[in-house]
Amino acid sequence: MKKGKLIVLEGLDGAGTTTQANLLSEFFKKMSVNHVVTAEPTKGKIGKLIKTILRNSEFKGTVLDDILILLFTADRIEHTKNFLEPSLDESKIVISDRYYLSTYAYQGFKKTDEIVQLISVKFPVPAITFFIDVKVKTLLKRLAVREKREIFEYENMMKKIKLNYEEAISKLIFRGEEIIKIDGEKEPIEIRDEIIYNLKKLKIISC
Ligand SMILES: Nc1ncnc2c1ncn2[C@@H]1O[C@H](COP(=O)(O)OP(=O)(O)OP(=O)(O)O)[C@@H](O)[C@H]1O
Ligand SMILES: [Mg+2]
């Protein structure tokens, strides 16, 4: 029996998932909550390969979706076996910066519905997923200062990914998952506090 809880942070690029993972971790440290922070794609070999592909415009194309789904799934299998399951077994709170909801959103939920359904069932279901919701216009401003941009970080692509997120979230909620949308236009601390409020309300943390 796994006693830990998986908390997932999701959002479009630049929405602030890494910022929130760090803020949440600082809070947990202060409160002595036994937790670990992780992310997908992971820092493992497959995760690194994914990041290389995402940063290389040469790979922009239609076949990419299917290849990426398989790579992300391989990375997630490794992540689950090597990190998520052992941490949950040790009763830890696990904060994951992205998880399978990102695959639904970024690799086109509709087109690959069946594949994604097949690959998602094997993975631990999060206790809660927070979708940090930020307007595409705001995200483009935040990302404009970045040197290396990923193939997803362009306006039309982002709008499509946002719609995919909305659709995937509805479907996952219908399947019984706990997913909460948070207004990501607010100040980072306000967002963090809203996340903590929900974690307490749902008894995921008790501090
Ligand atoms: N609530 C916020 N308001 C304004 N700026 C923010 C907010 N949260 C994060 N930022 C800033 O936006 C940028 C992107 O934040 P962050 O790296 O946390 O996003 P991310 O969702 O992890 O992005 P990616 O998906 O590309 O890893 C950073 O410069 C960060 O300081
Ligand atoms: Mg990040």
For ligand 2, the distance from its centroid to the CA atom of residue 34, given in whole angstroms, is 22
Q: Where are the domains of the chain?
A: 5-159
Q: Torsions phi, psi of 96, nearest 5?
A: -115, 120
pLDDT in tens, 21-34: 999 999 999 999 99
Q: How confident is the model at residue 204 (pLDDT cuts 50, 70, 90)?
A: very high
Mean pLDDT of the chain: 89
Cβ < 6 Å from ligand 1: which residues?
Answer: 11, 13-19, 142, 184, 186-188, 191
| Ligand 1 closest atom vs CA 145 | 29
From 19, 103, 182, 187, the mutation candidate for ligand 1 (largest count of ligand atoms within 8 A of CB) is 19
Residue in the structure block whose two tokens are 């946002």: 162
From 12, 18, 40, the mutation candidate for ligand 1 (largest count of ligand atoms within 8 A of CB) is 18
Superfamily of domain 5-159: P-loop containing nucleotide triphosphate hydrolases (3.40.50.300)
d(CA 180, CA 29): 23
- What is the pTM assigned to this prediction? 0.93
* Ligand number with the minimum distance to the CA of 150: 1
Q: How confident is the model at residue 70 (pLDDT cuts 50, 70, 90)?
A: confident
pLDDT in tens, 129-158: 999 999 999 999 998 887 677 767 778 889
Measure Cα distances from 42 to 30, 71, 164, 170 in Å: 26, 11, 22, 26
Is the predicted pLDDT of residue 54 greater than 90, yes or no?
Answer: no
Tokens for 142?
């935040």
State residue 34's pLDDT score.
Answer: 97
For ligand 2, the distance from its centroid to the CA atom of residue 1, given in whole angstroms, is 31
CA 17, 129, 90, 79 torsion-angle sign: negative
d(CA 45, CA 78): 10
